[in-house]
Structure 1
Amino acid sequence: MPDAGAAHPDTVLAAERLADLQRLQAEYVNYKRRVDRDRAVVQERVVRDVLESLLPTLDDIHAAREHGDLTGPFAAIADKLEGALGRYGLSRFGAKGEEFDPQQHEALMHAPWPADDADLPAGATATTVVTVLQPGYRAGEQVLRPARVAVADPA
């Protein structure tokens, strides 16, 4: 005589199949979440790589603009290029008078400066950027290249 408390074999099999299905659904949800996260990371990396590859061109544009050689239609093209890259989060940084930050600046020259020197901002009390040799660039909050600068310690 069958035990009244024992489950029918079909009920046991159905419960096992349901558990298998729930486990597979959970695995799929985790897989989808991981793929979406990885896709975003890859997209950020690709954008960053493209922006980094354009930094030498942006340096040439910046140098031409600084020397007054960028005029007319070429200036308009340069402005469009910089605007388009700005929409991807690219921004230039590094300015004379900023306090030196090793996370954002690469000091190529470092010397004590007399406090009355015109190159040193008035009231500077910390190591200060006195010349920007090459601007830095960041994409969003990530530094692509630190600003290459000359710094001075106030005397």
Structure 2
Amino acid sequence: MSKKDKNNATANESVDEQIKDINENSSEDTRTVEEQLTEELAHEKDKFLRLFAEFENYKRRTAKERSDLFKTASQDVIVSLLPVLDDFDRAYTEIAKTEEKDLLKGVELIKNKFRNTLENKGLELMNLQAGDEFNADNHEAITQIPAPNDSLKGKIIDVVEKGYKLGDKIIRFPKVVIGQ
């Protein structure tokens, strides 16, 4: 082999080694780029899922706040109408004592229509009677009197003012007299 051929062979070997090194380095660089892109993709997916979950929580929270707002808006109006309902009950009781049956029937019709309208909006009367157990969470004791008999001790003797619920919430506690 001539000197020229030897130099060409050495040069070819050197070029082959350089190409091999470049290929190895580029495959390592490609792997690191792929790994970086995979990590970035995983990070962005995690960020997206967190943002999506936060948005779902926001929607749920605002829907609940909105329904609560509607409930409390109607609650204020209904609470302000409860004294009118009490007045109808008192008027009905007093007119029932007279002989004016037509007047009694008219007041009864108006009272029932008013009560039905409020009940359609969610108002519910808390039914209490003398002899029911007193519960400080659900009743407001305005006074205690000596019980007429031992079976009425700690129980409701009289209901002074009716209590009402709007949905599950008590909007006016019944005022009661309890036996001592």
TM-score range, shorter chain: 0.7 to 0.9
1:68 Cα deviation from its structure 2 partner: 2.8
Separation of aligned partners in 1, 2:162 and 2:175: 6
Quick check: 1:6 aligned with 2:32? yes
Separation of aligned partners in 2, 1:90 and 1:55: 10
1:12 Cα deviation from its structure 2 partner: 6.2
Q: 5 Å matches for 1:118-133?
A: 124-133=151-160
Equivalenced residue count is 146
Normalising to structure 2: TM-score of the pair? 0.66
* Aligned twin of 2:144: 110
Judging by fraction of residues, say which structure has more helix.
2
Q: 5 Å matches for 1:26-65?
A: 26-65=53-92
Letter in 2 for 1:77: I
Q: Match of 1:124, SS?
A: helix
- Provide the identity percentage: 28
Separation of aligned partners in 1, 2:39 and 2:137: 61
The more displaced of 62-71 and 46-55 is 62-71
Q: Contact 2:131/2:152 (CA < 8 Å) preserved in 1?
A: no
Quick check: 1:91 aligned with 2:124? yes
Separation of aligned partners in 2, 1:24 and 1:17: 10
Judging by fraction of residues, say which structure has more strand.
1
Quick check: 1:72 aligned with 2:105? yes
* Aligned twin of 1:81: 114
Separation of aligned partners in 2, 1:47 and 1:79: 20
Q: Match of 1:96, SS?
A: coil
- The one of 148, 159, 170 aligned to 1:143: 170
Q: Which has the higher contact order (CA 8 A, sep 6+)?
A: 1
Q: Contact 1:99/1:126 (CA < 8 Å) preserved in 2?
A: no
1:56 Cα deviation from its structure 2 partner: 1.0
Q: Can you give the 5+ residue segments of structure 1 that lack an aligned partner in the other structure?
A: 116-122
